[in-house]
Amino acid sequence: MDPVPTLAANGLNMPTLGFGTFRLDDETVGRILPEALALGYRHIDTAQIYGNEAAVGRVIAGAGLPREQLFVTTKVWVDRYQPAALIESVHQSLERLQLDQVDLLLLHWPVFAQAGMNPTLEALMLARASGLTRHIGISNFTIDQTEQAVSFCGADSLATNQIEYHAYLAQPRLRRVLGRHNLVLTAHTPLARAELVNDPVLWDIGSQYGKTAAQVALRWLIEQDRVAAIPATASPHHAKANIDLFKFSLSAEDRERIAALDRAQRYVNPEELAPDWDK
């Protein structure tokens, strides 16, 4: 497989394609992640709430790759946003991951107590200053929340906003704001929870290149400026297909057809966590 290109915004050096691990239990991680690493995935996305950091850590330790070749993201869960708890939780994540430092540490959802987001952002910056993570970022933040976070942390401090982004959810305004602040858009749920794999337009586009709808959906994301995608799969066959994206490119006409698929459709919208989404 060809090496996955990296994104350099805010000094990030993050591979444009990562391996998502939400809903992969320990046994599945132990089976699929070594295969993914063998296929060339070097960017792994986990989170404290996924409950699989220790399994991810065991695979990383067993793979024996030079540390600098791997890009590991984890996310702090919302019940650890009080500053001391956040720092302690990152130490615990690192212990489970068997790492001295993660590459990227995110706030998983914008759910803040009375004091607002600043104390938590301060703790996130402290985690970076203490060497627990190379980069910091946010996840599922709206336009206003992104602006607030950037304004508090300062220009070029936050590396990414990890948000749901795929051909059925285009979010042009939020994308422009991320671009203006030089934040990478990390696209979670990039296959719209597998809804996109049956899309007839994507299949039609893919037929020109001998590619599937899923591959077109992912290629469309990573061709965009400062966009990374982190599809998840438990299937070795899909893991191989999802990284086989670097020997074709989409035409302007293909991109127009894909842009027309936008239906502002969200697949990740947990009532107790979701902000008041941008319209």
Ligand X SMILES: NC(=O)c1ccc[n+]([C@@H]2O[C@H](COP(=O)([O-])OP(=O)(O)OC[C@H]3O[C@@H](n4cnc5c(N)ncnc54)[C@H](OP(=O)(O)O)[C@@H]3O)[C@@H](O)[C@H]2O)c1
- Residue 160's identity, in one-letter code, is T
Q: What's the CA dihedral at 93, 139, 24, 168 to 10 degrees? A: -170
| Site for ligand X contains 140 (CB under 6 A) | yes
Helices and strands in the chain, H and E counts: 10, 10
**Given the residues 50, 81, 165, 168, the one annotated as active site:** 50
Query: What tokens appear for 86 in the block?
Result: 């956040």
- Is residue 50 part of the annotated active site? The answer reads yes
Helix (H, G, I), strand (E, B) or coil at 43: strand
Selected from 191, 205, 258, 261, the binder of ligand X by CB under 6 A is 191
Site for ligand X in 106-125 (CB under 6 A): 108
| Site for ligand X contains 230 (CB under 6 A) | yes
Q: How far is the CB of 140 from ligand X (least distance, A)?
A: 5
Selected from 162, 185, 211, 250, the binder of ligand X by CB under 6 A is 162
Selected from 43, 96, 188, 219, the binder of ligand X by CB under 6 A is 188
135 or 238: whose CB is closer to ligand X?
238
Q: Which of 232, 163, 242, 240 is nearest to 20 (CA)?
A: 232
Site for ligand X in 17-56 (CB under 6 A): 20-22, 45
Q: What length does the chain have?
A: 279
Q: Which of 166, 164, 116, 157 is nearest to 137 (CA)?
A: 157
DSSP class of residue 73?
E
Query: What tokens appear for 79 in the block?
Result: 């019940």
| Site for ligand X contains 198 (CB under 6 A) | no
The count of chain residues that interact with ligand X, using the rule CB under 6 A, is 27
Site for ligand X in 70-99 (CB under 6 A): none
Q: Which stretch binds ligand X (CB under 6 A): 82-90, 110-118, 169-177, 190-198?
A: 190-198
Q: Which stretch binds ligand X (CB under 6 A): 53-61, 116-124, 228-236, 258-266?
A: 228-236
Taking CA 24 as the corner, what is the angle to CA 258 and CA 80, rounded to the nearest 5 degrees? Answer: 95
Q: How far apart are CA 131 and CA 125, in angstroms?
A: 10
Residues that bind ligand X (CB under 6 A): 20-22, 45, 108, 139-140, 162, 188-194, 197, 214, 230-235, 238, 241-242, 268
Which positions are catalytic? 50
